[in-house]
A and B are shown apart, each in its own frame.
Chain A
């Protein structure tokens, strides 16, 4: 029997985790699918709603906490892992999620990402990777392909992309996973497994930006992508059914 003073999580439904705020992502954004999957996963964690905190930085993905009916803190660009570390030190009893993106987490906040993983701080990091800066209207990101043509790289990016999982492993991450916005069952499973990991769980979620980087993770060539990916960071591709699968090359 569980001790009488232990907090018992009430039975929740997805609805309990939906906040009263209007969701303000672009129609068709991959973020909707991720938000829905996270809200759906929450009841399965067995954690009281009031003990859950979502922390984010800046970017499209970082609006996430406003839409979760939990405690949330939308902070400044790149610093969510550091804010979350401070919160974790103050409050070991909370369940903490960091929501970040490829720019927020790997560019301006790359240093914090390195150290949160190295320290193995007990929290979950959801890195939405759409290979573009969306909120600033379409500049290339640290995961954009070599040669990527964007507003800031009119003749193509000269920078090689970083592979988020290789980066995480290099930092000594104790849990890494990659999933895709369009494969909900797989994403549900990854979220659950990440949430039960003790230490830092790093989950990269491949995600489409239908406004500034449509078909971000398809291997088909589009006008904005002259070179195919060469770094090996792209392990998702579209199967014959039109659904993205992992590692099918």
Chain B
């Protein structure tokens, strides 16, 4: 088994082995909870665990301190077995203030570990959180949970009292105390965080020193204070050998695009307008100019998509990204790419809507928008990643299909995948499918809409190619010649041809992998970021002896060619989605199966517990 690096211990306490643990750090949005969670994630990745994370924060940058709506949290599950989700119920909750306690306590398991920063439980903060009396004085709290009242603020100040920092700066380091303490409780290595602090604060030695000391103080506190009777070890998970890194969905999308640019040897032009939760893709790509990518922060969403289309017209791969409201603005542009038959990749990092909705919260309600959200008959290819790491492969595939078939491809990620992370095996670039792009240069027999018989793609010509000067546009054109045409029969033919081109992408889809028996009582069909929750629920149902299988669709248009056959092998079909029933409607319409939905639209990922309940309910009804 792998080695877990731990600092030398003085006092030996009993260490219990766990399969998995679910932890949530919660505090004010200025308390650094996201950073604490990210560092804990890195430590867990170093420890060799499988893991999944769920950052959850308000849209306000610095929401008023101490308020309920200003609470920011970071949850992760890590384990020695396969971890599919960030977990439903918490084993450990760290609450940095009363508001955090109030918002998050309901998710803590009875008997769970509750660590609170006592100094934050003053009159002002209690008032802001709406507590009439200090909940820490309630005897029931300590009866229900293993409550640890720690004066983190005080201990933090004590550890760095001699450093030339002001009170505010000293206060700010207390998240490292929490991190150090929880790292001790779960036997996490501190090295990655120490290295990070050194790098991050290289220019400010005092801050670096303060964070280091406070981190170690938190760790030492756990080790020496008599209050923690035991701590835990989670053995490394069995994972395929190779080089891993923690990967968020947004970074994976960016890297997938970079990999496609490298593999195709065609530059990428990425047009984007800042929007939560898609902006990180722009930030990531903006750092990698040397990998054939150029980024444009456009003046608006429409300019972002049209700049990408202009780039594709010029022989680059045009990519744009946004979230639902921005995708709505891009609709006309996407339609232009449909009729101009140019490659275009559109990343939609879905968030809760309609309109502004809840920008930092996740949702899966843009499937219909992706399929139909444009005027007239404007079909596009739609793909959806299943996990943060899968975003890499889906982005890569999106570029490959867009260039091969000369059409727009929409990728439906979501806020949960975008910010969530998992250990990701860095692939060998040679194992990725080739992206072969041959620009047309041959003059003989050239027409702008002459089609490849296999893909129906028209030729891609780079301006600058002598003898192939031609004009394209948004007006309907005659097939083959590309000349403007208002001929009724030609329009009907072109509508069908554009649809057929999308349908032909089905020939690229591998056989659907079925998790469970090939025939049985129930098939659970999912898409997008619900993969983990569905898989965990289905595996528990299978362990209970139920005849249940699941499939997870990564291709939503066209659908896998074997899907109709698979659906008919089960008596019932359940479709859990974070919308009010979109894929289920498509499946019912497409295949005439009596699929039923399980739908919760709360801005949160689905919990595997509730999916399991839905499975049992559906099966119970037929038993």
Contacts of B299 in A (CB 8 A): 82, 111-112, 114-115
A71 B470 Cβ-Cβ under 8 A: yes
Give Cα A88–Cα B303 distance, bound, in whole angstroms: 13
Contacts of B484 in A (CB 8 A): 21, 66
Which of A49-57, A151-159, A197-205 forms part of the interface with chain B? A49-57
Which of B307, B333, B463 is the one whose CB lies under 8 Å from A71?
Answer: B463
For window 294-343 of B, CB contacts with A under 8 Å fall at: 294, 296, 298-300, 302-303, 306-311, 313-316, 318, 332-333, 336, 340
A51 and B309 in contact, given A73-B340, A74-B473, A94-B314 (Cβ under 8 angstroms): no
A49 and B464 in contact, given A86-B307, A90-B269, A111-B300 (Cβ under 8 angstroms): no
Give Cα A90–Cα B318 distance, bound, in whole angstroms: 9
Q: Is the CB of B453 closer than 8 A to any CB of chain A?
A: no
A73 B464 Cβ-Cβ under 8 A: no
Contacts of B307 in A (CB 8 A): 82-83, 85-86, 89
B473 A87 Cβ-Cβ under 8 A: no
Q: Which residue of A lies closest to B268 (CB)?
A: A90
Report, nearest first, the 9 A-B pairs whose CB atoms are least far apart: A74-B473, A86-B307, A86-B310, A72-B471, A83-B310, A90-B316, A82-B303, A87-B310, A90-B314
Residue in B318, B462, B463, B472 with the greatest tally of chain A CB atoms within 10 Å: B463
Q: List 11 A-B contacts (CB under 8 A).
A: A21-B483, A53-B463, A71-B463, A72-B473, A73-B310, A75-B474, A82-B307, A83-B307, A86-B308, A89-B307, A94-B314
- Residues of chain B at the chain A interface (Cβ within 8 Å): 267, 269, 271, 294, 296, 298-300, 302-303, 306-311, 313-316, 318, 332-333, 336, 340, 462-475, 483-484
Give Cα A69–Cα B470 distance, bound, in whole angstroms: 7
Distance of A114 from chain B, by nearest CB (Å): 7
Bitwise interface map of A from 162 to 173 toward B, beta carbon under 8 Å scored 1, else 0: 000000000000
Which of A58, A76, A93, A94 is the one whose CB lies under 8 Å from B333?
Answer: A76
A86 B471 Cβ-Cβ under 8 A: no
A55 B471 Cβ-Cβ under 8 A: no
Give Cα A73–Cα B474 distance, bound, in whole angstroms: 9
Contacts of B332 in A (CB 8 A): 76
B468 A74 Cβ-Cβ under 8 A: no
Q: Is the CB of A36 closer than 8 A to any CB of chain B?
A: no
Q: Which residue of B lies closest to A65 (CB)?
A: B471
A82 B298 Cβ-Cβ under 8 A: yes
Distance of A36 from chain B, by nearest CB (Å): 18
Q: Which residue of A lies closest to B468 (CB)?
A: A50
A71 B469 Cβ-Cβ under 8 A: yes
Q: Is the CB of A70 closer than 8 A to any CB of chain B?
A: yes
Give Cα A160–Cα B474 distance, bound, in whole angstroms: 32
Distance of B345 from chain A, by nearest CB (Å): 13
For window 83-103 of A, CB contacts with B under 8 Å fall at: 83-91, 93-94
Distance of A12 from chain B, by nearest CB (Å): 12
10 extra interface residue pairs, beta carbon distance < 8 Å, beyond A49-B469, A90-B310:
A21-B483, A53-B463, A58-B474, A66-B471, A73-B471, A84-B310, A85-B310, A87-B310, A87-B314, A87-B463
A91 and B463 in contact, given A50-B468, A83-B313 (Cβ under 8 angstroms): yes
Distance of A58 from chain B, by nearest CB (Å): 8
Contacts of B314 in A (CB 8 A): 86-87, 90-91, 94
Contacts of B467 in A (CB 8 A): 50
B306 A79 Cβ-Cβ under 8 A: yes
Give Cα A72–Cα B475 distance, bound, in whole angstroms: 13
Q: Which residue of A lies closest to B266 (CB)?
A: A90
A86 B271 Cβ-Cβ under 8 A: yes
B471 A91 Cβ-Cβ under 8 A: no
Give Cα A47–Cα B302 distance, bound, in whole angstroms: 31
Q: Is the CB of A231 closer than 8 A to any CB of chain B?
A: no
Contacts of B474 in A (CB 8 A): 58, 74-76
Q: Is the CB of A19 closer than 8 A to any CB of chain B?
A: yes
A90 and B311 in contact, given A51-B463, A82-B302 (Cβ under 8 angstroms): yes
- Number of A-B residue pairs, CB cutoff 8 Å, is 130
Distance of B475 from chain A, by nearest CB (Å): 7
Contacts of B303 in A (CB 8 A): 79, 82, 85, 111-112, 115
Give Cα A33–Cα B271 distance, bound, in whole angstroms: 36
A74 B472 Cβ-Cβ under 8 A: yes
Q: Is the CB of A48 closer than 8 A to any CB of chain B?
A: yes
Contacts of A85 in B (CB 8 A): 296, 298, 303, 307, 310
Distance of A225 from chain B, by nearest CB (Å): 33
A86 and B469 in contact, given A21-B483, A76-B336 (Cβ under 8 angstroms): no
Contacts of B340 in A (CB 8 A): 73
Contacts of A51 in B (CB 8 A): 463-464
Residue in B316, B462, B474, B475 with the greatest tally of chain A CB atoms within 10 Å: B474
A94 B464 Cβ-Cβ under 8 A: yes
Q: Which residue of A lies closest to B473 (CB)?
A: A74
Give Cα A86–Cα B308 distance, bound, in whole angstroms: 6
Give Cα A76–Cα B467 distance, bound, in whole angstroms: 26
Residue in B307, B332, B475 with the greatest tally of chain A CB atoms within 10 Å: B307
Which of B269, B333, B470 is the one whose CB lies under 8 Å from A79?
Answer: B333
Distance of B179 from chain A, by nearest CB (Å): 42
Give Cα A115–Cα B302 distance, bound, in whole angstroms: 13
Give Cα A178–Cα B488 distance, bound, in whole angstroms: 42
Give Cα A84–Cα B470 distance, bound, in whole angstroms: 16
A91 and B464 in contact, given A49-B469, A66-B471, A111-B299 (Cβ under 8 angstroms): yes
Residue in B267, B302, B306 with the greatest tally of chain A CB atoms within 10 Å: B306
Contacts of B472 in A (CB 8 A): 72-74
Distance of B437 from chain A, by nearest CB (Å): 14
Give Cα A86–Cα B306 distance, bound, in whole angstroms: 7
Q: Which residue of B lies closest to A94 (CB)?
A: B463
B463 A86 Cβ-Cβ under 8 A: no
Give Cα A59–Cα B109 distance, bound, in whole angstroms: 64
Give Cα A85–Cα B305 distance, bound, in whole angstroms: 11
Distance of A51 from chain B, by nearest CB (Å): 5
Give Cα A66–Cα B482 distance, bound, in whole angstroms: 11
Q: Which residue of A lies closest to B335 (CB)?
A: A76
Q: Which residue of A lies closest to B462 (CB)?
A: A91
Contacts of A21 in B (CB 8 A): 471, 483-484
A69 and B475 in contact, given A75-B306, A76-B332, A82-B307 (Cβ under 8 angstroms): no
Give Cα A91–Cα B310 distance, bound, in whole angstroms: 10
Distance of B289 from chain A, by nearest CB (Å): 12
Distance of A82 from chain B, by nearest CB (Å): 4
Which of B267, B296, B469, B473 is the one whose CB lies under 8 Å from A50?
Answer: B469
B315 A91 Cβ-Cβ under 8 A: yes
A50 B464 Cβ-Cβ under 8 A: yes
Contacts of A79 in B (CB 8 A): 302-303, 306, 333
B269 A19 Cβ-Cβ under 8 A: no
B315 A90 Cβ-Cβ under 8 A: yes
Which of B269, B470, B473 is the one whose CB lies under 8 Å from A75?
Answer: B473
Give Cα A71–Cα B271 distance, bound, in whole angstroms: 23
A69 and B294 in contact, given A50-B464, A86-B269, A91-B314 (Cβ under 8 angstroms): no
Distance of A91 from chain B, by nearest CB (Å): 4
Distance of B285 from chain A, by nearest CB (Å): 13
Contacts of A74 in B (CB 8 A): 471-475
